[in-house]
Structure 1
Amino acid sequence: MTHYQAIIVDDEAKARSLLRNFLEEYCPQVSVLDEAPDVKTAVKLINKNEIDLVFLDIEMPNENGFALFDYFNSPKFKTIFCTAYSEYAIKAFEVSAVDYILKPIGVQKLKDAIAKLSEYNFHKENHIQILQDNILEKRIKKLAIHIGDGMVFLDLNKVLYFEADGSYTHVYHEEGKHLAVKKIKYFEDLLNTDNRFFRIHRSYLINTELIKKYSKKEGLFVTYDDKTMLPISRERKEEFEQFMQHNNLS
C-alpha cells in the first residue's frame, strides 16, 4: 500500500480539523504533516518538506487554490480538491479527470478519492490547466476521455458525435476517433446543460453545431462534412426540431 505524506490547505480551521480527524481515523495510508490556512503557507510547507499529497480548498482569501500551481513548474505532489462548487463546476472536475471531494466531506468519498490516487499523474498531463479552462469558460472546453489504461484530452468544439457500443462509446472527433470506457449515457448526462449536444437516437449523441444537413426526405438523417449520415429516431424528431429552433440552429 502506497503511503502519502500530506498537508491540508483550507482557510477554515474547522474544515481542516475535520478532514485531519477523518484521515487519521479512516485512512492509515495518509499521514498529515501539517496544515495551511492559505496558499503562501502551503508553498513554504511544500518547499520545506517532501509532500506527496495536498488536500486543497479552492475558494480562499487573497489567492484561490489554483494559485498554488503558479509556484511550481513541475509539481511532484498529487492533489485532491475539496470544494463546495456549483453543479456546473463539478462537471468541469469530471471532464478534467481531476480528483475532488464535495463539501461537506464524507468518509466514503474521502476513502474513494485516496484509492484512486494511483490512477493518474494529474500535473504531468496538464489536468489542472484544463480544469481552470473548463471552470472559467461558460461551457466545457476540453473533455478527458479514458481510453483503456490512459486518456486523451479533446477540444469539445471539435467533437462531432458520440456513438454507443455497449458499455463503451466511440467518440468521433475532427482529428480522429477514440474508444471511451464509458457508456453513452455518461456523456449525455455530462453535457445535458450544453446546448450544442443532443441525443438523436439511442446510439448517437451529436454536436448540432457541426452538422451540415438535416434531411427529412431521406428518412430523418443529419449529415457531416465527411458525408457521414446519422439516423434520427422518429420519437426524437419533434424534440430535435424544437431544440434546433430554440438554439437558432435550424
Structure 2
Amino acid sequence: MIVSSFTFSLNDIEAQTVSKFDIDITGITQTVDVRFGNGTSFTTGLNESYDAGYIFTGKPANPEDDILGGTTGIYTVLVDDTLSQGIGFMIQTLPYAEIGDMKISLGVNIAADGSETITINNITAFPAGHRIIIENKNSSTFTELQGVGDSYVASLTAAEPEKGRFFLHTTNDVVAPAGPGSMTTPNSTNNDIDTDIVGSCGIDAPNGNVLVTTTPANGFTNQYNTSILLDVNGDFTITDPNWIEGVYTISFSCRDKVGNGPTIMGSFGSI
C-alpha cells in the first residue's frame, strides 16, 4: 500500500494555489498533483507541510532505485533535490513565478514489462500561451500534453525504474532556435580521422540538443545520427567521432530545451 509520508493541510495548499494539473498513468487510480502558487511554501525544494511523498519499506540505497516496491506508479521528483533523496512525490508545490520555465523530473515504475500511457488531466488556470511538454531523454523527443485527450505512450521495463528519462516542462517558449550556428573544429580542409567536432547552435538554444549529420551520410560512426546535449551557451563537442576517410559537409539540426525546432544550420565544409 502506498501512503503519504508527510503531513500537510490541503486547505492551506488550495488557498494559495494559482494553477495546477494532475499526472496520470494507465490503470492506476493514484494521481500526481502538481501545483503552482504564490505562497512562501511553494518552492522548488522540499517543504514538508506542502509537498507529499511516498513511504517506502526502506530508503533506496541509490536515488535511482525502485521506490514503489515493484508496483506500477508514477511520481515526480523534487525539482531542487539538494540532498539527492530520490523520493517520489504525489504532491509537489512550485513557485508560480517560474511556471514559464519549469523542468520537473518524473519517475515511472511498472510491475510487468509493457507500454504505459501518461496523460495530463484537470489542468486548472494554466496561463494563456503556456504549454506542458513531456520530454523523453532516451529518444530526445518532446510531446505536448496540453489538449484534451493528449497522451504519451512509453515502452517500459519492470527491472529498470525510470528515473532521469522523463521530464515535464511548463513553458511559454514557442520560438525555435534561430542561430546562427557555427563550427570551429574541424577548422581546415584536411583533418585527421580522430578530429573532434566542436560547434554551436547559438545562444538561443541553451541546454537543448543537436543532431549532427554529414553529406554524404555516415561520415563518422561513433556518434553518427545521435542527439547530443548542448551546454548553457548552446555549444557542443563530439570527442573522437571516428571519421571515415572521404570528403564531407556537416549540418546541425538544433532544438532548444523544450523541443522547439529543429532548425537546420550549415552546411559546414568541405572537409
What is the TM-score of this pair, normalised by structure 2? 0.32
What is the TM-score of this pair, normalised by structure 1? 0.33
Q: Which has the higher contact order (CA 8 A, sep 6+)?
A: 2
Instruction: From the two aligned structures, give the one with the greater helix fraction.
Output: 1
Instruction: From the two aligned structures, give the one with the greater strand fraction.
Output: 2
